[in-house]
Amino acid sequence: MLTIAQLTGRDDSHLVPCAGPHRLQADAAAAFERLQSDAREAGFELAIASSHRSYERQRIIWNGKAGGERAVHDDAGAPVDVLALPPAARLHAILRFSALPGTSRHHWGTDLDIYDAAAVPADYAVELTPAEVAPGGPFDALHRWLDERMAAYASQGFFRPYARDCGGVAPERWHLSYAPLSRELAGRVTAQALKECWDCDREPLALRAEVEAELPALLARYVAVAENWCG
């Protein structure tokens, strides 16, 4: 079982290399390699766009978006002028696609974002947008194949925690989670543990006052996933 430091992305000692520069927990890495082999037999080149993400990296992303230095998009992929929004509304616009530092499933070494490298040129810049995985998008065929594998419980333990819109995080078909490990980790990071994590960071968390004013509700809406996410 992971420690709180590992769960919040401040300790990466639970990880092993996977698919080049990426890192996952050992069991998740082995399962991904099996899924990758299955995909290759079906004509896809399953590749990782993002795997483990540290607390510091997530905080850089979060603060950049809160300060208007990084792009924030709406559900249709259109840019959002976050600095024109009141702080509370800005918070929710960011949370639609980006996790609070310390709450990201990418901290755990069980979750990853994937794409089909065989479907695009080598210099293609993967964006992880709804258009890329929609019908007619470059990664649609891979995800339809994954749909079939998941329905048959033949996806090597990987499922989508954000498969449907529950009013929190927007659907992310590209986000896979290794259920045999991740379902045991969900809900272990409490509000108090998060506050302690933010307290010990050398850089302040942007919008912290707004976050703490709604923290229990935010955890329920944007961090918890549907109970039947992996069947």
Q: What is the pLDDT of residues 42-87, one digit of tens each?
A: 999 999 999 999 999 999 999 999 999 999 998 888 899 999 999 9
Q: What is the pLDDT of residues 9-33, one digit of tens each?
A: 999 999 999 999 999 999 999 999 9
Give the C-alpha separation, 102 to 9, whole Å.
Answer: 6
Q: Smallest Cα–Cα separation from 177: which of 105, 227, 128? A: 105
- CB within 8 A of 126, min separation 6: which ones? 49, 115, 120, 132
At residue 77, the pLDDT reads: 81
* Total Cβ atoms within 10 A of residue 74: 12
Q: Map 86-113 to HEC letters.
A: CHHHHHHHHHCCCCCCCCCHHHHCCEEE
Give the C-alpha separation, 230 to 15, whole Å.
Answer: 23
Average pLDDT over residues 176-181: 98
Flag whether the pTM goes above 0.85: yes
* Total Cβ atoms within 10 A of residue 69: 11
C-alpha pair distances (Å), 210 with each of 65, 166, 172, 206? 15, 22, 25, 9
Query: Tokens at residue 21, please?
Result: 């520069």
| Nearest 10 degrees: Cα torsion 124, 125, 131, 137 | 20
* Phi and psi torsions of 22, nearest 5°: -90, 165
Q: 102: pLDDT confidence band, cut at 50, 70 and 90?
A: very high
Separation of CA 65 from chain center:
16
C-alpha pair distances (Å), 79 with each of 50, 52, 99, 134, 173? 22, 26, 18, 19, 20
The answer to whether residue 107 scores a pLDDT higher than 90 is: yes
Average pLDDT over residues 30-43: 98
Amino acid at 142: L
